[in-house]
Structure 1
């Protein structure tokens, strides 16, 4: 196993699997002690999922009672991270996580309204800025990991790419990087960004939590027709996304299908708030469980290094947001949400909780993931061929 930051190859590699498109920043199956490890290589369950969900739900309830931002996801994430660091044997089965991600995709797609079509053409400048941000911030973070973190060149590069965790882990390992360090670094980045952004908005953007126990949404007494439409969006969208091998297929597929249905005005329904809260608990619990089975010293080292890289990425996001606000008329804090490297689902959920433009934020993160997944490995091969270090 990797015991230091030199990017040494771990002894037990994660098995190849077909889950690289299961969701942005999600690792469905890994070996014991790997971030996100749900199963052992024998296929037997590892750790208690019931305990994990109980801890996550307890954390979510505590955060909701305290009226903290995005309570069900953040509370579950914080509680299970603490439990993981304390040595609890907890896990979240990837099948449950995938189902909950599809529900979140349908919910995010329900924020797409017909008036969105009139605004979509105005996003070209901010999307172009996003690509410039990804390249410049990624290059600086790569340098930071090399000089400050002591990672090797391959590990630094793939640990710095802000998106497509599964792809970056697998490609980075294939090219000689330390997949454990890459995965832990991305997991720490997501953890830090998700914990930071809502509080920043509370301080600087006049965000106030709703004060209700459950997130905004419909009740369980929806019409049967609406239930059927939303369920169809989840299932059909996930299948299409899987067949087309879209990055984050189980999130993007249902979100796209739901978005099309809502843009067409077929329904205005969205998943019930209770179901959304459950999905957020599973989401947050999954993030916290990634640290299960990892030595405390290694977690502390990775988190310490990741704090610096996260600050770099967020500061660059704020700078780009302030500049692009002048030419796009989009508020800088919405641009920060669209650029923040915290995961498509996580940032979209935060946008929804903050009452911001979910469609704008989600679309930009989809472009970010696609850009990095497609171009980052190819760019690294070109740099290596050209003698880049």
Structure 2
């Protein structure tokens, strides 16, 4: 529903080229870009999307008229889906045969984190299933935010919970390694990027499948369609490069602006509820990772710290750099994080379908309860 006196931040009927709407859109995008730049400069994980969403969130909460037109939202969705698919390693499936015990621990950990933290957020904080379970997913922040922004769960509460998770995990890993001589982080290895021809062809195919998914009624179709196609094409060997970094940054700036604009009108009570839930969910996540990592370390001949970093659902670049600094097996850490993201690429759509089905059953039961008894 739109706010009094105007359209909602993503009203499909608005004329985005009108001077006032264009000005507010540029203001929102500028705030998102500045926030993302600041967070990235501070070395925060997922800095562009986290910093951008927080900057626009603060602006919305202090009353600035932030706005994100629906057409820009759709562009952001397509870019998000493409970026998730292109970051999947082409040999991820072959890595499943390696390190079987730790990979079983990874799967167990993901199930426990999503099930237990999602259950806690529903039962204790009374969040709806979409908000609770998307808030509990350990990774794929931009994909989760795209789905939430498309109408699954409350994007404003999900972003608070997820941002707290990333921040707290970033703090917990260095604290856990304080007794080790860590003085610097290694730089990320260079990667090839898609050519313009490959990029345009992939984008066209992603948009086409997104429109097909939309016609079929698939939730968050313009995110899921591009993600599914880009992932399948990457695993099928049709391309090997990644999206150009500037394009990925643009996607994150757009997503940060979109998510932050959803905070317009949020109450302090709503924020505090989500923030407390995020802290408890993060504590549960750290506890589950620690217990599972300890169990795996009893069965394999590996350092506990290496297993913990490999299984920790933090940012890939941050965890990988820390592993290099601690002289751990970088291939082990990178493989486990990439496999986690690969598994989540399939788990998230399934989870969204289950959430929608559960919501449909609940709404059906509520409707049936309000109907008068049939006359016999």
TM-score normalised to the size of structure 1? 0.64
Deviation by residue 1:179-217 (Cα, 9 ceiling, x = unmatched): 8xx5543342133224434444555577967889xx976
- Correspondences of 1:3-22 after superposition (within 5 Å): 14=1
- Correspondences of 1:200-215 after superposition (within 5 Å): 200-201=172-173, 204=176
Q: Which residue, out of 238, 247, 250, partners 2:210?
A: 238
Could you tell which deviates more after superposition, 53-62 or 226-235?
226-235
Whether the 8 Å CA contact 2:164–2:279 is kept in 1: the answer is no
Matched, 1:278 2:250: yes
Q: Which residue, out of 57, 66, 71, partners 2:33?
A: 57
Whether the 8 Å CA contact 2:164–2:282 is kept in 1: the answer is no
What is residue 363 of structure 1 aligned with on the other side? 342
In the alignment, structure 2 segments of 5+ residues that lack a partner are 136-143, 321-333, 366-376
Greater gyration radius: 2
Structure 1: distance between partners of 2:239 and 2:12: 44
Matched, 1:196 2:165: no
Whether the 8 Å CA contact 1:69–1:209 is kept in 2: the answer is no
Higher helix share: 2
What is residue 282 of structure 2 aligned with on the other side? 311
Could you tell which deviates more after superposition, 301-310 or 200-209?
200-209
Partner SS for 1:293: coil
Question: Cα RMSD (Å) of the superposition?
Answer: 4.3
Distance 1:285-1:198 versus aligned 2 partners, 3 A rule: farther
Distance 1:92-1:242 versus aligned 2 partners, 3 A rule: same
Distance 1:231-1:320 versus aligned 2 partners, 3 A rule: farther
Matched, 1:228 2:200: yes
Partner SS for 1:48: helix
Aligned length: 320
What is residue 259 of structure 2 aligned with on the other side? 287
Q: Report the Cα offset of residue 335 of structure 1.
A: 3.1
Partner SS for 1:162: helix
Q: Which residue, out of 102, 118, 124, partners 1:144?
A: 124
Structure 2: distance between partners of 1:187 and 1:211: 28
Partner SS for 2:238: coil
Distance 1:64-1:216 versus aligned 2 partners, 3 A rule: farther
Could you tell which deviates more after superposition, 360-369 or 326-335?
326-335
Q: Which residue, out of 98, 102, 112, partners 2:88?
A: 112
Q: Report the Cα offset of residue 286 of structure 1.
A: 2.2
Q: Report the Cα offset of residue 252 of structure 1.
A: 3.4
Could you tell which deviates more after superposition, 85-94 or 351-360?
351-360
Q: Which residue, out of 7, 13, 32, partners 2:3?
A: 32
Q: Report the Cα offset of residue 44 of structure 1.
A: 6.7
Q: Report the Cα offset of residue 157 of structure 1.
A: 5.3
What is residue 312 of structure 2 aligned with on the other side? 336
Partner SS for 2:134: coil
Q: Report the Cα offset of residue 370 of structure 1.
A: 3.7
Whether the 8 Å CA contact 1:103–1:271 is kept in 2: the answer is no
Whether the 8 Å CA contact 1:105–1:254 is kept in 2: the answer is yes
Whether the 8 Å CA contact 1:130–1:368 is kept in 2: the answer is no
Could you tell which deviates more after superposition, 368-377 or 252-261?
368-377
What is residue 134 of structure 1 aligned with on the other side? 114
Whether the 8 Å CA contact 1:106–1:254 is kept in 2: the answer is yes
Structure 2: distance between partners of 1:208 and 1:127: 31
Deviation by residue 1:351-374 (Cα, 9 ceiling, x = unmatched): 356554464232332344344334
In the alignment, structure 1 segments of 5+ residues that lack a partner are 1-13, 15-30, 146-150, 172-178, 338-346
Distance 1:301-1:240 versus aligned 2 partners, 3 A rule: same
Distance 1:218-1:282 versus aligned 2 partners, 3 A rule: farther
What is residue 302 of structure 1 aligned with on the other side? 273
TM-score normalised to the size of structure 2? 0.66
